[in-house]
Structure 1
Amino acid sequence: MSLSRFRNSSSPAFLALGCVLAASPALAQEAQTASAPKLGGVTVTDTAIDEDSYKVDKVDSPKYTAPLVDTPRSITVIPSQVIRDTASASLTEALRTVPGITLGAGEGGNPQGDRPFIRGFDSQASTYLDGVRDIGAQSREVFAVEQIEVVKGSDSSMGGRGSAGGSINLVSKTPTADRFAAASGSVGTDDYKRVTLDVNQPLNDFVGVRLAAMYHDQDIAGRDAVWSKRWGVAPSVKLGLNGPTSLTIGYYHLESNELPDSGIPYLYTSANAPAGVTETAPAEHFTTISGVDVDRPRDAFYGLKDRDFRKTNVNNLTIRAQHEFDNGITLRNTSRYGRSEQDYVLTQPDDQQGNVYGVKNAAGTITAPGNQVWRRANTRYGYAEGLINQTDLFGDANLFGLKNSFAASLEFAREKASTGSYVSNAATGTAIATGSTVSPRCSANMVARYNCTSVDNPNPSDPWVSYTGDGTTIPTDIVRSLPKTRTLTRIDSWGASLFDTVTITDNLLLNLGGRYDHYKTVVSPGLAATSTANRLYVSRTDNLWNYQAGLVFKPTADSSIYISTSSAATPPGAYLGQGSEGNALNTTIPTSPTAPTPQELTDALKIERTKSYEVGTKWNLFDNTLSLSLAAFQTQTKNARTTGDNNTVVFVGNRRIRGIEFGFNGNITPEWSVFGGYTYMDAKIVDGGNSAPVTVKDTVTGQTVTINTPSPSTGTPFPNTPKHSFTAFTNYNVTSKFTLGGGAIYMSKIYGGIQNVGSPTLANGQITMPRTLARMVPSYWRFDASASYKINDIAQLQLNVQNVFNELYYDKAYTAHFASQAPGRTAILTLNVKY
């Protein structure tokens, strides 16, 4: 069966969006040119393109009960203007503007999609939409996003479980009282095509509607064969547009179709790393173990065009009712049903067996000559869906003569997920035949079957055939596994929280907050395709308490100095089977048909708890047009899951990160806007537990004993945590019509994972550890440039060049196997129109 996906610019989605653009009545209205104040050197009118600032004073969520300058923690808000000026088309691209965030790669057990690391902690399951948890692994778009809020530091008190390093909240575009219609059309290198539409239309003083839509299609610069196509629509209606009582109903739909790229394999593995080598980067220019010089082309793609694919489908329905009482207190209820689906078969290059560099056996005989990449097939299909209801009560009140800005919240949620895989035979559950049963993997037969390809000359159009097995010549279709093989997960939870900013004096504020969560998860692992047993369901219940507290001193009305602390709790099963979770519930389920007792589950798994401490200062300067922030922080996780004696799971892991962060956003002069910052992070795994036990012979006593060796990760940096990261983006209005801009991103070395090389030795009871091999991606600089020209009051032409110097760099480091190569130079020309 061929799984190739075809692109067609005449697709229904593309034509439908074109019809919407052509038929929009708002685009036919005359431009209004009423006078207005200046911003950033450009006169802002109802029709101006650049009407937003780089500076945001308050986040959208009412749980943050003070303006940003008075909030005692690090928060970065990416406003819509920064998203537009940088030509960001996805959440991943927008997050690159924020220092302290890195991006993790997906793998077989970790579904493809957004995987941001905030201050060294995986935040894949800590993403929110309008203050409500956004479930399911997915690649999020920004066409319907007003702004993106990044909270750094332990954050479970705000949103519930997880958020050890921070959280991300996306704010949706919803109807407002302003009438406008905006459209953008982009073309660029590598067949880049993008069209967006944003129409806001008040029908009268009571009813307003808004429609955001998008179509996107592009190849990837510097990558052979890879492409991505998606379209989305987000209509919304608001009743009570100008009144104290309102009802907003919004729907979001996103479909994507792509040929995915897992990237480039690492050069060395623990099986073949030469003596003295302690780090390995992705393979580029090297000499194999058999003496062959290899020069990997930049565009080398190891996937198969006729087999690989990824499709996603996301649907969200949100209903929000709100009433503002006469005393300024607001009651709001938000209900959301969300469902995300994704299917993929993608090629993961290499398998840690040493095919790239080559392998010699103990006798010195070459068993794998090198310059080969195994095309392992990673597959997944499934869905995640949830029904969440959240009620918020917030406002200001006086208590004991003190002003209290408070927010109380009550939340109920049911979330569930189902995950299966693609196989060559559903009845037997036989995996797709790619040579996994053959040793060495890249034998002559496997090369002839295109299960392996060369490092320096891969052909994505190879005529690969799906067979029933590695040793057969019977073709077969690739199909979904049987329903009984799927892993099922369900989470039922409710949480209550209360936050308060107490104004003790005009110069002294106290910020307090706490949350209680009752959390129950149920997991049923998939059965073997041939099994006749009944499903086994395992459940666990946890009660979570989290807090935040901060003291704020205000030297002036526009500045603050603060100290704060906060906590996070990650219970077993917190990722709903939608991310890379070391604390997953189903990993403790025995192979016997008897379910573990609640006490056995309690003993087997514990809640991972994280605490953050921060001291900092924030200043609004130049008549409140520029914001500066500086903070020092420490975050520490205890009860991290590790491997202990006798290969058992224990909770002794201790991870600690310390750092300093500086941020800036806003206008230095009326013509000059800036956005970015610098983050230094000293991340260390203080205790990684033990590796699996090994049996060795004492070279002195001659006794053979089993020993438990310390984990190779102990004392090493966090994965996905660069020591230095810096971003800076700027625009300067040269004239009232012409603007120049640019950006710079620096990321120091990023580690993916640490592994032992060789076996430990024992001499008179003293253990000598083998050296370790760290998989990493090198540091890099990336520079962007932009320019825009205001044609008239309604039209603007914008040019963006991303990665101006065509830097070859890697933006994601996986634990093993591979790293993701970033796109090369991309030029995008956009026509923006707004009435």
Structure 2
Amino acid sequence: MKSRKIAKRIGRAGQMAREKALASGQALKGPRGWIVVGTLAAYATLGTSQPALAAIGGKAEPGAVGTAATLPLKRFDIAAGPLDGAIAEYEKITGIKVKVVLPSGTLAGFTTQGVHGLYREDEAMQMLLKDTGLNYRTEDATTIAVGVQASDTVSVTASAADSVSMDKFTEPLLETPQSINVVPNFVLQDQGVSTLRDTLRNVPGISLAAGESGAQGDNLTIRGFTARNDIFLDGIRDFGSYYRDAFNYEQVDVLEGPSGVQFGRGSTGGVINQESKVPGASQFVHVDTQFGTDLNRRLTLDANTPLYPEMGGTAFRVNMMGQESGVAGRDGAEIRRFGLAPSVSVGLDDKTHATLSYEHLTADDTPDYGLPWQFNHLSGANRHSYFGFADENYLKTNDDILTLKVQHDFRPGLNIHTTARGANYPRQVQITESQICSNASQSVPVGTVVSALPTLAYNSTIACPYDANTPASEIGVVNRNQIQVKSVETDLWDQTEIAADFKIHGIRNDLVAGVEGGQETSNPIRYSYSQPYTSSSGATGTINSVPYTTLLDPNEAQPFSGNGYISSVVHTKADSTGIYFVDTMKLGHLFELSGGARWDYFNADYHVYTPVVPTSSAPAAFVSLSRLDKQPTYRAAFVYKPSSHGSVYFDWGTSFDPDAESLSLSAGLVNGNVKPEENETYEGGAKWSFLNERLMMEGAVFRTEKDNAHETDPTNSNDIVAAGNQLVKGVQLSVVGRLPEGMDLVAGYAYLDSDVIYSQFFPAAVGYPLANVPKQTFNLFVTHRLPWRLDGGLGGNYVGGRTASSTVPYVPTSYAPNPNGAGYIVTSVAMKQVPGYWIFNAMLKRSLGEKFDFQVNVNNLLNRYYIDLPHPSHLIPGAGANAQFGLNFKF
């Protein structure tokens, strides 16, 4: 009886397989066809959890399922025809070995519809095998097997990222003469990363900083120079003041070194590009849930489905995110965010294809500006102290970004593409910044006579009664400076590029030329709670109308009070245009020579209204100014390729930073005639790949010098000159890999030597390091397959000590009366810096079948107390030890 049931199951499975082949026009004729059908029927009968493996003789690899979304896009141009020839072309494009597990000669009976366009490796293989009755399975890191299978497709093992999505880069990363660090999606998944800020901890040469008073959100430096306005989203500047979430990231690209030709203004140390997830040909649904300490709850959804095959390849994808959590070790701080990112692509199989995407991100956080400085070091405040008003502090952003990209391929190697964007970035902010004494306006050497002692930050008519050694228990006055802003930034932009390869006198050229332009606006309304004040002795100054608190016992539940007023109403509009090209010439198989140029037009109009300050006799004021900059930038590079697996290069480039670069700082435009900062970078390096591009390594030495650095006179904030010079030189190494046995690796090291080499207003700063530039940084995270279907990960970060200011690197710490007259003599000084730190993180993941896995991430394992985000006026500690537990679903 049992044998007859098995026979019937074999017969039904065989009939279904043959009908499928016949329906697709690929009838399996003769003995070979019946061999294939019999193979399928036999393994369909087994009903095991891994029928595909059995059918092609593969070996199970835990964790191999579900990696499709992390694979990089590659361009395929494989014509319809015999399948064996198409597979050979696929091997050339991807570097993956395809092993055919069929009787000898069987493959010659199959044909394919081909594949054309940008696809992941797994998507391209699916399209090649469409309607053939065949399928594939990963065998190891560099090999897949094709055969007759009775299960759904399992994705090809992902390689280390070897490309970026921006068409302005025509060469693979291995041959691109620039330090480019790609943080792929699998790294974000392993580490449980949820923000851009945490993503960038995997990149050497980047250091993070606290938000500024006028602009909140992600703030950082790249190779020693501020990059707050050098953040891009799919190749277009994303300058909104908000904290970016990683829920819609395919990967994050960090391009360090010369970038001015491709990206325009700014980009002194480099740029950051966020690559969004886009629709593809495969269907999947991923749901990730995360719960943890500090009341963390996070849910993300990533769903993709192909639509309407008759329309030439249409697909829809949606990503969603919701999160609520506290911050470990920081009482009062809370995170509440929601994100939605739908996108649709049409014409995936056609020469003309387009993607329309929309991203909405809402945040309603209780922000944290941390702890106060005590002259040159962190005060003795409790690590958990929150100096704000938990019920009155807020950071509300409501960002909307709509992007349309259209591309037409005239032929392989020739296309034109345009990207249009409209973005709106509203924000409302009220944040409390704790302060003890007023900041030193400049560094003064020992023996210098100063006219007055530091004053209380709360009341500038009172000399500060504390010094650098005052115990925390004796500091009874801590100012609560209120940063209150209501603003809307907007961006309307278009970028059109043509990419072409051609030959001139037998020399192949890869050219990208483009034109871009648009309008950016910023409209901040700022508030103040500082009132003019005259002391009983007749001294004049300001006093904060918000009540002060104490260092050891701040009361976050205290009702907020204070007399606030509008201090300024600003409208800044910048019209920009950029024209550029980059050409790469292939001088045989060993050498490449590239060069490019750009011309930028940047016209900024600035208007500020200053109302009457209550209790002051000063009249209202209105200032309207404009600044026009027309600036060229250049780039040149040489590449030597001693092997198909590596390259050695030299790169040179320039960039510039105009007065109104950020559209948020008004002081730089008050005199209206400050010329742009000019930057020049030299870089030499090498890149190498191993294990068929599964392991990518690169290293570089570099030198960047900034001329005409803008400086503000410490005695007159309206007097700004372009008279400073700054220098950063260093070494950088990085490794990213997806290795056999489930081993993933990301590591990096950077050594940065930064100096102020000339300063008109701050000569005492010459020879000291730039702000927020650690001498050394190191990052490492390794995951590996373990017994019992487990994957484990372990890693850490080291960040060296950092100064808080480039112009005031050290401050006076003690004084004595001047015996020769008025004033005080500085008797000691100290560096104003935060110490370096190590932190360690761990991960453990357990597969619960093909569709589920359970993951635990523990961050800051040793519960280190460290300053993560420094600022000249406040210090934000890093999160304490915390654990996140996730259950992930893949359908």
TM (normalized to structure 2)? 0.75
1:624 aligned partner: 693
Tell me if structure 1 keeps the 8 A contact 2:710–2:721.
Answer: yes
Q: Compute the displacement of 1:359 (Å).
A: 3.8
1:419 aligned partner: 524
Q: Compute the displacement of 1:464 (Å).
A: 3.2
Q: Distance in 1 between matches of 2:543 and 2:627?
A: 47
Tell me if structure 2 keeps the 8 A contact 1:107–1:378.
Answer: no
Q: Distance in 2 between matches of 1:674 and 1:448?
A: 51
**Which of 778, 784, 789 is the matching residue for 2:841?**
784
1:193-249 CA deviation, whole Å, 9 max, x = no partner?
Answer: 100001111112232111110001100000112111000101111121221111211
Q: Does 1:566 align with 2:635?
A: no
**Which of 758, 763, 767 is the matching residue for 1:687?**
758
Per the alignment, in what secondary structure is the counterpart of residue 637 of structure 2?
Answer: strand
Return 5+ residue gaps in structure 1 as ranges: 1-31, 269-279, 285-295, 423-430, 441-445, 469-477, 591-600, 692-709
Tell me if structure 2 keeps the 8 A contact 1:41–1:733.
Answer: no
Tell me if structure 2 keeps the 8 A contact 1:351–1:376.
Answer: no
With over 3 angstroms needed to count, the CA separation of the structure-2 counterparts of 1:450 and 1:131, relative to structure 1, is closer
Q: Does 1:515 align with 2:598?
A: yes
**Which of 814, 819, 823 is the matching residue for 2:875?**
819
- Matching residue's letter, 1:528: P
Tell me if structure 2 keeps the 8 A contact 1:718–1:751.
Answer: yes
Q: Compute the displacement of 1:323 (Å).
A: 0.8
Q: Does 1:174 align with 2:174?
A: no
| Structure 1 segment 66-81 matched on structure 2, within 5 A | 66-81=171-186
Q: Distance in 2 between matches of 1:184 and 1:33?
A: 31
Q: Does 1:330 align with 2:420?
A: no
Per the alignment, in what secondary structure is the counterpart of residue 525 of structure 1?
Answer: strand
2:352 aligned partner: 245
Q: Does 1:728 align with 2:780?
A: yes
With over 3 angstroms needed to count, the CA separation of the structure-2 counterparts of 1:714 and 1:734, relative to structure 1, is same
**Which of 789, 796, 801 is the matching residue for 2:858?**
801
RMSD over equivalenced CA pairs, Å: 3.2
Q: Distance in 1 between matches of 2:624 and 2:842?
A: 54
**Which of 113, 123, 138 is the matching residue for 1:37?**
138
Per the alignment, in what secondary structure is the counterpart of residue 519 of structure 1?
Answer: strand
1:460 aligned partner: 556
Q: Compute the displacement of 1:574 (Å).
A: 0.9
1:486 aligned partner: 569
With over 3 angstroms needed to count, the CA separation of the structure-2 counterparts of 1:179 and 1:535, relative to structure 1, is same
Tell me if structure 2 keeps the 8 A contact 1:91–1:142.
Answer: yes
- Matching residue's letter, 2:435: D
Structure of higher RCO (CA pairs closer than 8 Å, 6+ residues apart):
1
With over 3 angstroms needed to count, the CA separation of the structure-2 counterparts of 1:727 and 1:534, relative to structure 1, is closer
Per the alignment, in what secondary structure is the counterpart of residue 94 of structure 1?
Answer: helix
Per the alignment, in what secondary structure is the counterpart of residue 556 of structure 2?
Answer: coil
Q: Distance in 1 between matches of 2:397 and 2:649?
A: 43
Q: Distance in 1 between matches of 2:827 and 2:514?
A: 52
Q: Does 1:282 align with 2:360?
A: no
Tell me if structure 2 keeps the 8 A contact 1:40–1:733.
Answer: no
**Which of 555, 561, 570 is the matching residue for 2:642?**
555
1:695 aligned partner: none
1:146 aligned partner: 250
| Structure 1 segment 463-542 matched on structure 2, within 5 A | 463-466=559-562, 468=563, 481=566, 485-529=568-612, 535-542=622-629
Q: Distance in 1 between matches of 2:392 and 2:534?
A: 21
Q: Compute the displacement of 1:624 (Å).
A: 2.1
Q: Compute the displacement of 1:65 (Å).
A: 2.0
1:288-335 CA deviation, whole Å, 9 max, x = no partner?
Answer: xxxxxxxx3221111111221110010011111111112431111111
1:830 aligned partner: 886
Tell me if structure 2 keeps the 8 A contact 1:100–1:119.
Answer: yes
Tell me if structure 2 keeps the 8 A contact 1:359–1:369.
Answer: no
With over 3 angstroms needed to count, the CA separation of the structure-2 counterparts of 1:769 and 1:633, relative to structure 1, is farther
Q: Compute the displacement of 1:33 (Å).
A: 12
With over 3 angstroms needed to count, the CA separation of the structure-2 counterparts of 1:716 and 1:63, relative to structure 1, is same
With over 3 angstroms needed to count, the CA separation of the structure-2 counterparts of 1:54 and 1:637, relative to structure 1, is farther
Q: Percent identity, aligned pairs only?
A: 28
Q: Distance in 2 between matches of 1:71 and 1:568?
A: 19
Equivalent residues, number: 710
Q: Does 1:263 align with 2:370?
A: yes
Q: Distance in 1 between matches of 2:198 and 2:686?
A: 28
2:767 aligned partner: 715
Q: Compute the displacement of 1:48 (Å).
A: 9.2
- Matching residue's letter, 2:634: Y
1:96-133 CA deviation, whole Å, 9 max, x = no partner?
Answer: 11121111112323x11001210111111111111111
Q: Distance in 1 between matches of 2:741 and 2:788?
A: 11
**Which of 679, 683, 695 is the matching residue for 1:610?**
679
- Larger relative helix fraction: 2
- Matching residue's letter, 1:188: G
1:395-428 CA deviation, whole Å, 9 max, x = no partner?
Answer: 3211221111111111021111100124xxxxxx
Tell me if structure 2 keeps the 8 A contact 1:388–1:413.
Answer: yes
TM (normalized to structure 1)? 0.80
Q: Distance in 2 between matches of 1:623 and 1:300?
A: 51
1:359-418 CA deviation, whole Å, 9 max, x = no partner?
Answer: 4499xx99x952432111111110110110110111321122111111111102111110
Per the alignment, in what secondary structure is the counterpart of residue 498 of structure 2?
Answer: strand
Q: Does 1:114 align with 2:195?
A: no
2:210 aligned partner: 105
- Matching residue's letter, 1:410: V
Tell me if structure 2 keeps the 8 A contact 1:355–1:370.
Answer: no
Tell me if structure 2 keeps the 8 A contact 1:124–1:137.
Answer: no
Q: Does 1:663 align with 2:740?
A: no
Per the alignment, in what secondary structure is the counterpart of residue 135 of structure 1?
Answer: coil
| Structure 1 segment 186-205 matched on structure 2, within 5 A | 186-205=290-309
Q: Compute the displacement of 1:447 (Å).
A: 13
With over 3 angstroms needed to count, the CA separation of the structure-2 counterparts of 1:632 and 1:587, relative to structure 1, is closer
With over 3 angstroms needed to count, the CA separation of the structure-2 counterparts of 1:833 and 1:393, relative to structure 1, is same
Structure showing greater Rg: 2
**Which of 546, 566, 569 is the matching residue for 2:633?**
546
Tell me if structure 2 keeps the 8 A contact 1:40–1:673.
Answer: no
**Which of 383, 388, 398 is the matching residue for 2:493?**
388
With over 3 angstroms needed to count, the CA separation of the structure-2 counterparts of 1:643 and 1:194, relative to structure 1, is closer
Q: Distance in 1 between matches of 2:456 and 2:134?
A: 66
Tell me if structure 2 keeps the 8 A contact 1:510–1:552.
Answer: yes
1:745 aligned partner: 797
1:473-507 CA deviation, whole Å, 9 max, x = no partner?
Answer: xxxxx68x49xx41110010111111122110101
- Matching residue's letter, 2:165: D
Q: Compute the displacement of 1:561 (Å).
A: 0.9
Q: Compute the displacement of 1:449 (Å).
A: 8.8
**Which of 241, 247, 250 is the matching residue for 1:137?**
241
Q: Distance in 2 between matches of 1:726 and 1:42?
A: 33
- Matching residue's letter, 1:620: S
Q: Compute the displacement of 1:436 (Å).
A: 7.8
Q: Distance in 1 between matches of 2:412 and 2:259?
A: 30
Q: Distance in 2 between matches of 1:556 and 1:506?
A: 9
Tell me if structure 2 keeps the 8 A contact 1:238–1:247.
Answer: yes
Tell me if structure 2 keeps the 8 A contact 1:54–1:81.
Answer: no
With over 3 angstroms needed to count, the CA separation of the structure-2 counterparts of 1:456 and 1:408, relative to structure 1, is same
Q: Compute the displacement of 1:266 (Å).
A: 1.3
Q: Distance in 2 between matches of 1:533 and 1:453?
A: 33
Q: Distance in 2 between matches of 1:47 and 1:137?
A: 44
2:389 aligned partner: 304
1:659-707 CA deviation, whole Å, 9 max, x = no partner?
Answer: 001110113544322102100000011112224xxxxxxxxxxxxxxxx
Q: Distance in 1 between matches of 2:703 and 2:196?
A: 26
2:477 aligned partner: 372
Q: Compute the displacement of 1:771 (Å).
A: 5.6
- Matching residue's letter, 2:300: T
Q: Compute the displacement of 1:352 (Å).
A: 3.0
Farther-moved stretch of structure 1 (70-79 vs 240-249): 240-249
